Amino acid sequence: MFDKVLIANRGAIACRIQRTLRRMKIAAVAVYSEADKHSLHVTSADESVCLGAAPSAESYLRQDGLIDAARATGARFMIGC
């Protein structure tokens, strides 16, 4: 079993996943762009990692950044929708 999950999504979906993980006693890691740093999915996560600038091509769509974030936080599983 794993104890930490990186959520490669944002908004309401990420918040729902976080709530479920919390009930399961699994830590949630949020990823975000600079424009989303004050978003609910970021502030309610156990940990968060900035992926880069606001354009998706410079943050959320960079697979290498997502993998680096998972490694840096020790997340053993990644959820993306």
pLDDT per residue, tens digit, the chain (81 aa), is 789 999 999 999 999 999 999 999 999 999 999 999 999 999 999 999 999 999 999 999 999 999 999 999 999 999 886
Element (H, E) at 13: helix 12-23
Calpha distance 8→66 (Å, rounded): 7
Predicted pLDDT of residue 81: 61
Site of tokens 């490669």: 8
pLDDT at 53: 94
User: What integer pLDDT is reported at residue 1 of this predicted model?
Assistant: 79
CB 31 within 8 A of CB 54: no
pTM: 0.91
CA–CA dist 48, 28 (Å, integer): 8
